[in-house]
């Protein structure tokens, strides 16, 4: 499982001209699900993201998590995080999980973040989405659960 996590002052996702999710002062999380991902990957990434200390403390140091600052997360499904372009210029997505199972894990991921006290908004799985954000810092962190097991 892969995630691109951005600290944002605001972010929103629009589907068919309507805002379906938005956050202020929180996280924008692009989540990619691999065909081999399990609950262990979900638990690792949800816990890591909930506790990720990328928000400033009173001294301006990155020592606070989204939980500490009452931040929320906008979670966007992003199968293209598993795009493989090692051969040629057109990405192959053979490592991405098939959509029905990926949607199930995506929903479980959002639920896990919420259980960890990170309020979540989300996009529409499989839809064409316009994602708008103001990256704060900028701070962008790449996470990959397979790099740690």
Task: Give tens-digit pLDDT for 93-147.
Answer: 999 999 999 999 999 999 999 999 999 999 999 999 999 999 999 999 999 998 7
Catalytic: which of 6, 9, 38, 79? 79
149: pLDDT strictly greater than 60? no
Distance CA 44, CA 59 (A): 29
Determine how many CB atoms are found less than 10 A away from the CB of residue 137: 13
Answer for the pair 95, 35: CB distance below 8 angstroms, yes or no. Answer: yes
Catalytic: which of 6, 55, 78, 109? 78
148: pLDDT strictly greater than 80? no
Helices 99-115 & 39-51, crossing angle to 10 degrees? 40
Report the DSSP pairing between strands 2-15 and 18-32: antiparallel
Catalytic: which of 6, 9, 38, 80? 80
Q: Is 125 a catalytic residue?
A: no
15-18 long-range Cβ contacts below 8 angstroms, 24+ apart: 15/123, 15/124, 15/127, 15/128, 15/129, 15/130, 16/127
Answer for the pair 113, 120: CB distance below 8 angstroms, yes or no. Answer: yes
12: pLDDT strictly greater than 70? yes
Q: Is 80 a catalytic residue?
A: yes
Q: Could you tell me the residue ranges of all domains in the chain?
A: 2-144
CA-based nearest residue to 2, from 21, 29, 40, 23: 29
Q: Is 79 a catalytic residue?
A: yes
Model pLDDT, residue 72: 98
Task: Work out the average pLDDT over 42-56.
Answer: 97
Which conformational region is residue 47 in: left (phi greater than 0), alpha (psi within -120 to 50 degrees), or beta?
alpha
DSSP class of 1: -
78: pLDDT strictly greater than 70? yes
CATH of 2-144, one of 3.90.25.10, 3.50.80.10, 3.30.70.100, 3.40.50.1100: 3.50.80.10
């Amino acid at each position: 499982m892969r995630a691109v996590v951005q600290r944002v002052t605001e972010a929103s996702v629009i589907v068919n001209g309507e805002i379906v999710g938005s956050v202020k002062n929180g996280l924008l999380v692009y989540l990619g699900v691999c065909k081999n991902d399990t609950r262990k990957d979900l638990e690792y990434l949800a816990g890591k993201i909930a506790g990720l200390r990328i928000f400033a403390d009173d001294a301006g140091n990155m020592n606070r998590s989204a939980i500490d600052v009452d931040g929320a997360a906008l979670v966007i499904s992003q199968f293209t995080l598993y795009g493989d372009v090692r051969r040629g210029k057109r990405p192959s997505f053979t490592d991405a999980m098939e959509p029905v199972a990926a949607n199930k894990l995506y929903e479980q991921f959002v639920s896990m973040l919420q259980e960890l006290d990170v309020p979540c908004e989300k996009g529409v799985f499989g839809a064409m989405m316009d994602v708008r954000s103001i990256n704060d810092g900028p701070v962008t962190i790449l996470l990959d659960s397979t790099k740690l097991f």
